[in-house]
Amino acid sequence: MATITNTYWLLPGLSGKKQSGVVTQEESVIITFDSVIDNVDDAIRESGLKPGSFHRNINTLILQDGISAEPVSNGSEWRFDLSYSTRSFGSNEAAEDDEFYVPKVSFGKWTYTRVVDKDKVSGDAIVNTAGDPYDPLPIETISSPTISVTVKENSPNLNRIFDIGAINSQQFRLCGLTIPKYCAMLDDFQPEPYQEGEDILSFLNTYTFKLKFFKNTSGSQIGFKLETLSAGYNQIVSTKKVEIRVKDPDSPDDSTKDQPIATPQMLDVNGAVTTTPYYQEWVVHDVVNFSVFGLPTNYPVA
């Protein structure tokens, strides 16, 4: 048995591509052993490079089959050419001909509620005839779609569990739908062992996404981002935060008797009191690039 004495990754040889949402990265490594290895099979085995294992630095990349190996000098030093992909090991073109590799896709819906603070046609803030917001503000119930995808992978990909609750950091395509940035949330991930044969164990991994196509005031889809009406009890005056006060009706000319406001007042982009609603947007969920999951991009799935 040979022992590894040195490992050198050839960064100049690193290359890759992205196609149909799948990222492929090619790398080369030179490994030095403490003794001569005279055949490819032993060199690959002693290198510890196993198809299906995760990349040393990027846990979304998985080592694919088809490792190339050749001696560099006298057989104690070998070069290995590797291919990593975000598509799980085993889900290659040949496997796609296997009926068990056809992903299962189902559509559903979920509902959520939100406070309504502006008119969806005019965009005006919902206030009474005196200009005050209703207390409490009205609430609407919204139905939105879900997509569940079950794919066969050679790993349970348990690291996906930590992505539950995250939203998409960039636009991606899933089962025939192009989903804008921030409009999909990984709601659930369930791996299930699948025994294909006596010596073959794979996993049926189910990804469930909630979709939300909420539009902001300007009409852009912001999905799970939070849009809030800028309002409060303080305002900015000459770069300083000061309390918003109103005239005392009994002493309107005496500013020392001004009273604090009873309800929040709308503020503009600079924090000054305004009668024109101004909305802010916030990303309140963790973000993940879902395109690296390697899920189907078309529907029906071939």
What is the tens place of the pLDDT at every residue in 242-284? 999 988 888 888 878 888 998 899 999 999 999 998 999 999 9
Backbone angles phi, psi at 159, to 5 degrees: -65, -20
- According to the per-residue pLDDT averaged within each range, which of 43-57, 107-121, 225-239 is highest? 225-239
Q: Tell me the CA distances in angstroms from 80 to 2, 35, 73, one per residue in order.
A: 16, 17, 13
Residue that wins the pLDDT comparison between 21 and 290: 290
Residue that wins the pLDDT comparison between 3 and 198: 3
Tokens of 179: 């989903």
pLDDT grade for 100, boundaries at 50, 70 and 90? very low
Distance, in Å, from the CA atom of 294 to the CA atom of 297, rounded to the nearest integer, reads 9
The predicted model gives 97-115 an average pLDDT of 81
- Residue 23's pLDDT is 82
Number of other residues whose CB lies within 10 A of the CB of residue 180: 16
- Residue 15's pLDDT is 80
Q: CB–CB of 242/235 below 8 Å?
A: yes
Cα–chain center distance at 73:
45
pLDDT grade for 302, boundaries at 50, 70 and 90? low
pLDDT grade for 91, boundaries at 50, 70 and 90? very low
- Residue 117's pLDDT is 77
User: 175-212 pLDDT, tens per residue?
Assistant: 999 999 999 999 999 999 987 766 677 889 999 999 99
- Residue 31's pLDDT is 94
- Residue 256's pLDDT is 81
Q: CB–CB of 245/214 below 8 Å?
A: no
Distance, in Å, from the CA atom of 65 to the CA atom of 85, rounded to the nearest integer, reads 10
Nearest one of 125, 132, 126 to 268, comparing CA atoms: 125
- According to the per-residue pLDDT averaged within each range, which of 47-51, 79-83, 255-259, 290-294 is highest? 79-83
Average of per-residue pLDDT values in the chain: 87
Checking if the pLDDT of 12 tops 80, the result is no
Number of other residues whose CB lies within 10 A of the CB of residue 25: 17
Distance, in Å, from the CA atom of 87 to the CA atom of 291, rounded to the nearest integer, reads 10
The predicted model gives 69-79 an average pLDDT of 90
Counting Cβ atoms within 10 Å, is residue 108 exposed (0-12), middle (13-18) or buried (19+)?
exposed
Q: What percentage of the chain reaches a pLDDT higher than 90?
A: 51
pTM for this structure? 0.63
Q: What percentage of the chain reaches a pLDDT higher than 70?
A: 91
Cα torsion 291, 293, 299, 302 to 10°: value is 130
- Residue 155's pLDDT is 83
Checking if the pLDDT of 87 tops 70, the result is no
- Residue 118's pLDDT is 79
